[in-house]
Structure 1
Amino acid sequence: MIAVVRDTATAEQLDHLVSWIEDRGFRTNVSQGDNETIIGIIGDTTRIDPFILESMDIVERVQRVSEPYKLANRKFHPEDTVVDCGHGVLVGGGNFQVIAGPCSVEGDNLIEIARAVKAAGATMLRGGAFKPRTSPYTSQGMGARGLDLLMEAGAELDMPVVSEVMDPRDVQLFLDKGVDVLQIGARNAQNFTLLREVGKTNVPVLLKRGMSETIDELLMGAEYVMSEGNANVMLCERGIRTFETRTRNTFDVNAIPVLHHLTHLPVVGDPSHATGYTRYVRPGAYAAVAAGADALEIEVHDCPSRAWSDGSQALTPAQFADAMRRIALIREAVVAPVEEA
């Protein structure tokens, strides 16, 4: 349930109403936008009479919300959320960013890749130090040393670092290292213990859609994080598993505008994992930008044939630079306001 407050309400009246609601056993989420203030009422709202609320002088109207995700719901928070990823990099609310780097941190080549993607226009550095792999016999990543290399590169280039955390027991390690954005991969999209653990931090979370998740299930994953107090969540569409075998996954570009309709959280497109092949990554990226993505995450490697993981979907620095030029043109065409005749 949401209560829309009249624009004439004073801060004291608003505080009094919030206290009145919370005294009855509900949680509240107050969203103050440019045009109106909304109080989200969280709990078993069948126990509260909307007519009592509407009878209060400062309440404009009351509306029930049927979706189970409340904190992530745009009805609770009409204004776009803008996530501050550090280093002056903002995502959402018209702020567009590109996250780029290798699938796995492999060693000294990381800094050269990082310099190349930064020169091409990337604003955030990605890299896996802990890798979820289907086979236990393939590379599992460099671990803590990989995080050190990422942080060194991020510090040199003044770029926020994005890296995947797989285990609730490792969250503190990521915090200690200073990782700017905690990525939750597709295989952990419904690891609710991990989601709650990152929710206890105030570090931005990049939550990827599970390979067989519905959009509502993705939003409920975000709700797990936000219910612990961390509102800095970005959602990532990275392809879903279907019957099609010509690509690694099926890139659900539809999900980008759908998510923008349902939630205030920023939406990121990952064409690398969605398509699985270098030749398709750039077209996938262009489609995501045209669909309104707030950011892209793209894998880049200096020598894809030698990559420890996912070399088949990595762009070379030259290919990435070409993609960035075209992405800028697409954004100019799609985002620029249309002048009416």
Structure 2
Amino acid sequence: MKLDLKIQPLNSWMKINHEPLLIAGPCSAETEEQLLATAHLLAKTGKVSVLRAGIWKPRTRPGEFEGIGSIGLEWLKRAKAETGLPTAVEVANAKHVEEALNAGVDILWIGARSTVNPFTVQEIADALKGVDVPVMVKNPVNPDLSLWIGALERINAAGITKLAAIHRGFSSFEKSAFRNEPHWDLAISLKTLAPELPMINDPSHICGNRELIPYIAQKALDMDMQGLMIESHIDPSVAWTDAKQQLTPSALSELMDHLTQRKPEVKNAEVKDKMAELRKEIDKIDDQIISKMAERMAVVEKIGAYKRDNNVTILQVTRWDEILHKRTSYAKALKLSTDFTEKLLELMHHESIRKQTEIMNNSTVAEA
């Protein structure tokens, strides 16, 4: 089921100076000199379409730098006048919206900490009624697709049709190489539900360090995302916030030169025919897999009935361990990743338990 969003195409409200779309600028506007110098260097690359800067910074704990505040909007106005770059800022309440619009900010975005709270999103949506301004909505901090969709729907219901989503990753208790886990599956789910919704990737916040940004940026483009939002500072070593994930304008320019922009559709007739042929093979194999899954579940139901009739528990840990060990070893030999195999086996195991639970709870006892 598709989302019922009324959205204008990205190219109707966003002037893209260079492919792919790049929104760049410092994590925080710190001083007028820092913002202007960074803006001029970014504009000079010819690859940046929008200048971004944090004016109000929601921090996890008080006492840290929480943004320069409203004075930074005047610096952004000057940067726009001098470079010609439209500007974008994060807003977290109605007052932010009012001040940003009065200062001539071109694009607003709603941050992850705001998206997670429907009350906050609704306050922002109410402040946007009757206003024709582009709004980008970052995914919520936690991996909850419904919250992300709800925020987009609230903003769209306020009359905002120049709408985009920003994929910036999700918090996780598990330690990994990333600051925020990408959870590409959630981004793909949103794209599937709203294929017309532009999606922009934020590799800076996913990575948390500049070394991983090229990898995530390229993967985002390969996932058919429409652009990138990357933090850039004239001297990241002295940045007041998120120093490790910011790039200098020159490093950002070099990064963009090494990214490959691929097309979502194949136009070459020969390639198109070959792709169609290979996809037919996949369709055939998928049908076989589903057929075999149905056969497997039929056997599972027979086992469930046997367990019910003989008072045997549904879960048998030793059997599950045996399956997991044997199948992952076999899959590894066939060059399938262990992670994929384990997830697939767990999915089948959960469905097997569900089916056997239904049978076990059936009051009708099968005849011996």
Per the normalisation by structure 1, the TM-score is: 0.71
2:157 alignment counterpart:
227
Shift of 1:138: 0.8
Instruction: Check conservation: 2:167, 2:201, Cα contact below 8 A.
Output: yes
Deviating more after overlay: 212-221 vs 121-130: 212-221
Partner of 2:199: 267
> Distance between the aligned counterparts of 1:237 and 1:129, measured in 2?
20
What CA deviation, in whole Å up to 9, does each residue of 1:46-87 have, x standing for no partner? Answer: xxxxxxxxxxxxxxxxxxx6x6x5326xxxx7xx7336556x
Report deviation, 1:326: 1.6
Shift of 1:110: 1.2
Q: Distance in 2 between matches of 1:131 and 1:84?
A: 30
Query: 1:70 maps to what in 2?
Result: 4
Q: Structure 1 90/224 Cα, relative in aligned 2: closer, same or farther at 3 Å?
A: farther
> Kindly tell me: are residues 115 and 142 of structure 1, through their superposed partners in 2, closer, same or farther at Cα, counting changes over 3 Å?
same
- Structure 2 CA distance, aligned partners of 1:337 and 1:118? 33
* Superimposed CA distance per residue, residues 193-244 of structure 1 (whole angstroms, 9 cap, x where no aligned partner): 3342354122110110011142232122100011111111110110012233
The 1-side partners of 2:143 and 2:185 are apart by: 14
Give the secondary structure class of the aligned counterpart of 2:165. strand
**Aligned partner letter, 2:5:** L
Q: Which residue of 2 aligns with 1:103?
A: 27
Say yes or no: does 1:339 pair with 2:268: yes
SS at match of 2:38: helix
Which secondary structure state, in structure 2, belongs to the residue aligned with residue 110 of structure 1? helix
Matches for 1:208-223 after TM superposition, within 5 Å? 208-223=138-153
Corresponding pairs, count: 262
Which residue is equivalent to 1:298? Answer: 230
Aligned twin of 2:59: 133
Extract unaligned runs of 5+ from structure 1: 1-64
Decide whether the 8 Å contact of 2:97 with 2:124 is kept in 1: no
| Unmatched 5+ stretches in structure 2 | 271-368
**CA 1:334/1:188 → structure 2, altered by over 3 Å: closer, same or farther?**
same
Q: Give the drift of 1:338.
A: 4.4
Superposed CA offset, 1:249-271 (max 9, x none): 11133344433321121101000
Is residue 2:101 matched to residue 1:170?
Answer: no
What residue identity is the alignment partner of 1:151?
A: K
From 187, 192, 199, give the equivalent of 2:113: 187
2:213 is matched with which residue? 281
Specify which of 182, 192, 196 is matched with residue 251 of structure 1: 182
1:307 pairs, out of 217, 224, 239, with 239
Are the counterparts in 2 of residues 89 and 160 from structure 1 also a CA contact under 8 Å?
no
CA 1:199 to 1:83, structure 2 compared with 1: closer, same or farther past 3 Å? farther
The answer as to 2:117 corresponding to 1:203 is: no
Kept in 2: contact 1:195–1:224 (CA 8 A) = no
Q: Measure the CA separation in 2 of the matches of 1:83 and 1:258.
A: 23
Using a 3 Å threshold, how does the CA distance of structure 1 residues 193 and 256 change in structure 2: closer, same or farther?
closer
Structure 1 contact 238–270 (Cα < 8 Å) conserved: yes
Q: In angstroms, what is the RMSD of aligned CA positions?
A: 2.3
Instruction: Give, in whole Å, the separation in 2 of the partners of 1:162 and 1:83.
Output: 17
Moved over 4 A (4+): 83-86
Q: Distance in 1 between matches of 2:144 and 2:23?
A: 24
- Give the equivalent residue in structure 2 for 1:116: 41
Identical amino acids, percent of aligned pairs: 29
What TM-score do you get using the length of structure 2 for normalisation?
0.66
Higher helix share: 2
Name the residue aligned to 2:307.
none
Could you tell me how far apart the structure 2 residues matched to 1:147 and 1:258 are?
A: 35
**Alignment partner, residue 51 of structure 1:** none
The amino acid across from 1:234 in the alignment is A
Say which SS state the counterpart of residue 39 (structure 2) adopts. Answer: helix
How far apart, in 2, do the equivalents of 1:85 and 1:114 lie?
Answer: 21
Verify the 8 A CA contact 1:256 1:292 in the aligned structure 2. Answer: no
**Amino acid across the alignment from 1:148:** E
Higher strand share: 1
Matches within 5 A, 1:53-64: none
1:49 corresponds to: none
* 2:10 counterpart (78, 82, 107): 82
Structure-2 separation of matches of 1:243 and 1:206: 27
Report the residue type matching 1:104 in the other structure: S
Q: C-alpha displacement at 1:137, in angstroms?
A: 0.3
